[in-house]
Amino acid sequence: MPQVPVQFGEWRPDIATLDTQFANDVENVFPGSNSYLPVPSLVPFADQPVPPPPSNEPIVGLFSARTTTGEWKIYAGTPTKLYNWSLFAGWTELGSGYHVPPGELWSFCQFGKWVIAAQIGDKPVKADADTGGAFTVITAAPIAHNCRTIGDFVFLGGLASNRRKIIWSSINDVDGWTPGLNLSDEQEMPDGGPVMGLAGDKIGYIVQDRAVSLLQFMPGDTTYIFQISKVVYDRGCVSECGFTSIGDNLYLICEDGFYHLSGPQLTPIGHEKVNDWFLANSDVGRRNVVQCISAVKPYIFWAYHASPGTPAKYYDRVILFNWSNARWSRMAINAQMWATAATVNLDLDTTGPEVNDVNLDTPPLPPARSLDSFAYMGGRPRVAAIDPNGFLCELAGPNLQATMETQEKHLVPGSRAMVGDVYPIADGADGVIYNGTRERLQDDVIWTQAYPIEITGSAAVYNSARLHRFRHIIPRDSKWTHAQGVMADAQQDGTVA
Amino acid sequence: MSDIYNDDGETIAEMPLTERQLAILDAADELVVIYHTPQLLRHLLGEHSGSFTLHKRDDRVVTNEPKVVERYAQLQKAIAAARRVS
């Protein structure tokens, strides 16, 4: 039989994929330029949950900061408490008595040695990352939804007194919040709705519900301090944590999908790709808490709730964008909160004086960490999350079950095609192949049973139809690196090869 | 709020000093204070700006530029009044 290559191709569920090079569906894979790559699962890194039992409050904030000496510290917040995690001491409560309202999240930023946390229920608080001290109230600062460090200033956005207002601190002073003093000042956006947050640095962004403005520091200008110019008039971010900046580039989710803003240049990155799919497959009632993080490698994650039925405590889906090749993918992972985090390193020398060396050779309590744990790679940023049980995890576990589905194809144009063996082009991958068929575009797709990949490396499908598509499912824990598509043995039905 | 004194020991203004600013003064350094009319009140108060230095003598925060500090204090009063109105 002639062999017909059918690539998985770029995932673009918003367009017709008949006889194109685009994939119909993918799940739990990273999008490479000509293949899909496996997504690891979340594996617990901390030995104890946050918040410590018996509390079962949800985690509504996760942040990592660096001390003056370069060590990493991880902070998490519940609606009422703030915690710090370290490899040696586990979770330590650093503040309590807060009032994060339902549907709101903590917003964190770092300024020098200070970690600053803001939310609309209370005044912002700060903690000394170097000393590990408790959070204290920044008494002079107003209550605000979010915070961000831009240049030598701390910004607060979405003030309780007026959600269209931002205020910035005195220069190099997290406690100076008197407008008119030491370059501190405030600005009210005349329109554009509530300020959802700020992003960027050299080029800052004020992200509103229905507008985005550029914010540029004017050195030496003690009158205006920052130049603010609106560059997006009719779109803004739907979530207070639904945007991120990489360099001077802003990525955000708007009411009608995903966009990239570089200075004044707005580019739709999800149009005719994933926007319609996302809007149809996410809970509209909770888009206001979609969480965006800039992950390691060129990936941006947007964590969201797939449906109104998703429990309130955690996100159950992630849609991810590879900004180096403008390709999308998605993941089905449950996590309360995502972040890019790192920790201090734990060395492999168990005879040295380092605290907690005992962790390495006294299983089972606590068990020794696996050799690829990021405990041994201190300071190296990794994608982290708090899982539904409250454990701090890294995205470095066994590979998740991956699903990739090709476009629908006339394998033999003008005729029914008899498909024999289907050979997945995926290294090291086990799994099964499904064949979806129909005779007319007006018919529903009928899926076959799962055909295992045999010792020949092919799945014996043997199915006849006019239109074919193939789904490759690679089971959890399989070790593989790339999946490109399938090679289908196909010939005109009724003929002999 | 901290009282600001002139060289003659008279109080000429009061201003909020942050933990960091107090630490600078305690270290016997000079502290530069920059002020300006807040942007949202500029249409009411006009544009004013300036700077002055403070230092600590004994336990008092002292300035060598009393006239500038007085202008700062007048602006603060005007800001407070404008905020009450708006």
Q: What is the DSSP string of A61-128?
A: EEEEEE-TTS-EEEEEE-SSEEEEEETTTEEEEEEE---PPTT---EEEEETTEEEEEETTEEEEEEE
The label of the residue with tokens 């003598």 reads: B57
Closest-CA residue of chain B to A188: B40
Q: Judge: A181–B47 Cβ closer than 8 Å, yes or no.
A: no
* Chain A touched by B31 (CB under 8 Å): no
Output the DSSP codes for A284-298: GGGGGG-EEEE-STT
Residues of B in contact with A179 (CB under 8 A): 38-40
CA dihedral A249, A213, A337, A151 (to 10 degrees): 70
Residues of A in contact with B76 (CB under 8 A): 180
Residues of B in contact with A185 (CB under 8 A): 36, 38-39
* Chain A touched by B63 (CB under 8 Å): no
- pLDDT tens digits for A14-54? 999 888 899 999 999 999 999 999 999 999 877 889 999 88
Q: What angle do CA A151, A157, A163 make, to 5 degrees?
A: 160
| Cα A99 from chain centroid (whole Å) | 26
pLDDT surpassing 50 at residue A364: no
Which DSSP letter does residue B24 get? Answer: H
Q: Judge: A182–B15 Cβ closer than 8 Å, yes or no.
A: no
Count of other CB atoms within 10 angstroms of residue A219: 7
Closest-CA residue of chain B to A224: B39
Q: Judge: B39–A173 Cβ closer than 8 Å, yes or no.
A: no
pLDDT surpassing 70 at residue A356: no
Q: Judge: B34–A224 Cβ closer than 8 Å, yes or no.
A: no
The label of the residue with tokens 């008949």 reads: A18
Count of other CB atoms within 10 angstroms of residue A308: 9
Question: A129 near A67, Cβ under 8 Å?
Answer: yes
Q: Judge: A224–B21 Cβ closer than 8 Å, yes or no.
A: no
Q: Judge: A180–B36 Cβ closer than 8 Å, yes or no.
A: yes
* Chain A touched by B34 (CB under 8 Å): yes
The residue among A417, A426, A430, A412 whose CA lies nearest residue A461 is A417
CA dihedral A319, A322, A326, A327 (to 10 degrees): -60
Closest CA of chain B from A206, distance in Å: 17
The residue among A291, A282, A397, A398 whose CA lies nearest residue A340 is A291
Closest CA of chain B from A172, distance in Å: 9
> Could you report how far apart the first and last alpha carbons of chain A are, in Å?
5
Question: A6 near A18, Cβ under 8 Å?
Answer: no
Count of other CB atoms within 10 angstroms of residue A476: 12
Residues of A in contact with B35 (CB under 8 A): 180-182
Q: In what order do the strands lie in the sheet containing A72-77?
A: A61-66, A72-77, A81-86, A90-96
Q: Give me the pLDDT at residue A47, please.
A: 80
Mean pLDDT of A381-408: 93
| Cα A318 from chain centroid (whole Å) | 6
Question: A232 near A266, Cβ under 8 Å?
Answer: yes
| Structure tokens, A357 | 């060396």
Please list, in sequence order, all residues whose beta carbon lies within 8 angstroms of the beta carbon of residue A89, skipping any fewer than 6 positions away.
Answer: none
Q: Judge: B20–A185 Cβ closer than 8 Å, yes or no.
A: no
pLDDT surpassing 90 at residue A320: yes
Pairing type for strands A122-128 and A114-119 reads antiparallel
Task: Give the global pTM.
Answer: 0.90
| Cα A186 from chain centroid (whole Å) | 31
Residues of A in contact with B31 (CB under 8 A): none
> Could you report how far apart the first and last alpha carbons of chain B are, in Å?
24
Ordered alpha helix ranges (H), A407-481: none
Helix (H, G, I), strand (E, B) or coil at A50: coil
Q: Give me the pLDDT at residue A87, please.
A: 74
Q: Judge: A176–B18 Cβ closer than 8 Å, yes or no.
A: yes
The pLDDT confidence band at residue A370, using thresholds 50, 70 and 90, is low
Count of other CB atoms within 10 angstroms of residue A3: 13
Q: Judge: B18–A175 Cβ closer than 8 Å, yes or no.
A: yes
pLDDT surpassing 50 at residue A365: no
Q: Please, which contacts does A259-268 make with residues 24 or more away whose CB atoms are closer than 8 Å?
A: A259/A235, A260/A323, A261/A205, A261/A212, A261/A231, A261/A232, A263/A203, A263/A214, A263/A231, A264/A214, A264/A231, A266/A231, A266/A232, A266/A235
Output the DSSP codes for A145-199: EEEEEETTEEEEEEESS-TTEEEEPBTTBTT---TTBTT-EEEE-SSSSSEEEEE
The b-or-e profile of A420-434 (16+ CB within 10 A means b, else e) is bbbbbbbeebebbbb
Closest CA of chain A from B29, distance in Å: 16
Q: Give me the pLDDT at residue A271, please.
A: 96
| Structure tokens, A98 | 């807060």
- pLDDT tens digits for B8-62? 999 999 999 999 999 999 997 899 999 999 999 999 999 999 999 999 998 899 9
- pLDDT tens digits for A47-104? 889 999 888 899 999 999 988 988 888 999 999 999 999 877 889 999 999 999 998 9
Residues of A in contact with B52 (CB under 8 A): none
Closest-CA residue of chain B to A189: B40
Which DSSP letter does residue A133 get? Answer: P
Q: Judge: A222–B36 Cβ closer than 8 Å, yes or no.
A: yes
| Structure tokens, A95 | 């503040």
Q: Judge: A176–B49 Cβ closer than 8 Å, yes or no.
A: no
| Cα B85 from chain centroid (whole Å) | 22
Across chain A, how many H-helices and E-strands are there?
A: 2, 40
Q: Give me the pLDDT at residue B10, please.
A: 92
Residues of A in contact with B21 (CB under 8 A): 173, 176
Pairing type for strands A195-200 and A185-188 reads unpaired
Find the CB nearest B79 among A176, A180, A222.
Answer: A180
Q: Which of A167, A182, A224, A227 best tests the B interface by mutation, with the highest count of B CBs <10 A?
A: A182
pLDDT surpassing 80 at residue A291: yes
Question: What percentage of chain A reaches a pLDDT higher than 90?
Answer: 77
Output the DSSP codes for A379-406: T--EEEEE-TTS-EEEEEEEEPPEEEEP
Which DSSP letter does residue A130 get? Answer: T
pLDDT surpassing 60 at residue A358: no
- pLDDT tens digits for A203-212? 899 999 999 9
